[in-house]
Amino acid sequence: MDENATVRTWSLAALGAASLLPLAIACGANAGNQPTTAMNGTATASPPPSGYQATYPGAPPPGYPPQQPGYPPQPGYAQPQPPPPGYALPPSQPAYGGPPAQPGYAGPAPAYSPAAPQPQPPGAPPAPSGSQAPTPLAPTDPNSVMAILQGIQGALQGQLVTPGSVPADLTEVGLKLHAAHVAPGMQPDGSELKQNLTEGQHAVMMVTLQAGKCYAIAGFSPLGGVKDIDLNLLTPPLYLTLAGQDLTHNNTPVIGASPSPMCPVIAFPLQYKLDVFARVGSGQVAVQLYSKNK
């Protein structure tokens, strides 16, 4: 019985050794890749085999060039390469996507804007306008009103005649020529004043102006007569203010000369007082009101 027990014991030992043999072979195959433990208990890793490519985060993918010095690392991307010596960068493109800037190109033309009016130097005449609208009445000199009012206190009542009653008269001929120049397209309106005046003498006549028409008043004295005639148009009803005035100093006065005739705006007719003053010289004077439809 002792021999049978000994045989069973050895049989069980042989079976146990046979079952542990595959486990020992498997552990031996992986022994080269397992970390070893040093005497002090610290684990150390074996170096990777030849051709092994690391795949940790931040490393460039396979096939990318190695990292260049001076560039910060980028996860998973190769770093940019500096341009080779002598390489010229292409010109920058404008923001709107147009052609690149050329040498001497000053850029797109600025948007058009109308030029602002330029100031005129002191004393310069006003710039001409496209059209000159007629004025209600003529320019005047306010400083001359008192002298006119004093002068007409002893004025003569003007002698009125029919226009053109003496065609061969030099005064009539001169007045017609003068009116054709300063009142073109107008016709005589009312009676004509024709009077001999001495220097410093006044004569007055009444003229009627109404809306819907434009007017001019022309005077004339022939050569050797009155050298400076003044015409002054006084406003109704008191005739204390000027509605128009001749500002020349010659023998051919005019109020409302073309292209700026007098065009009243009051709807009903008004009678104005016309003062004719012989400032310098003596002789025969003719004065006529001319009008045309507006």
Q: 79 lies in a domain?
A: no
Q: 272 lies in a domain?
A: yes
CB 156 within 8 A of CB 274: no
Confidence of residue 124 (pLDDT cuts 50, 70, 90): very low
Q: 51 lies in a domain?
A: no
Q: 127 lies in a domain?
A: no
Q: 43 lies in a domain?
A: no
pLDDT confidence of residue 142: 77
pLDDT at 64 over 60: no
Q: 189 lies in a domain?
A: yes
Q: 121 lies in a domain?
A: no
pLDDT confidence of residue 172: 93
pLDDT confidence of residue 37: 44
pLDDT at 250 over 90: yes
CB 181 within 8 A of CB 254: no
At 3, phi and psi to the nearest 5? -70, -40
Host domain of residue 259:
147-293
Q: Which of 63-67, 159-163, 177-181, 221-225 has the lowest mean pLDDT?
A: 63-67
Q: How many domains does the chain have?
A: 1
pTM: 0.55
Q: Going along the chain, which residue ranges are E strands?
A: 36-37, 43-44, 156-157, 160-161, 187-188, 192-197, 202-209, 213-220, 226-234, 242-245, 254-255, 270-281, 283-293
Confidence of residue 244 (pLDDT cuts 50, 70, 90): very high
Q: What is the CATH number of the domain that holds 166?
A: 2.60.120.380
pLDDT at 60 over 90: no
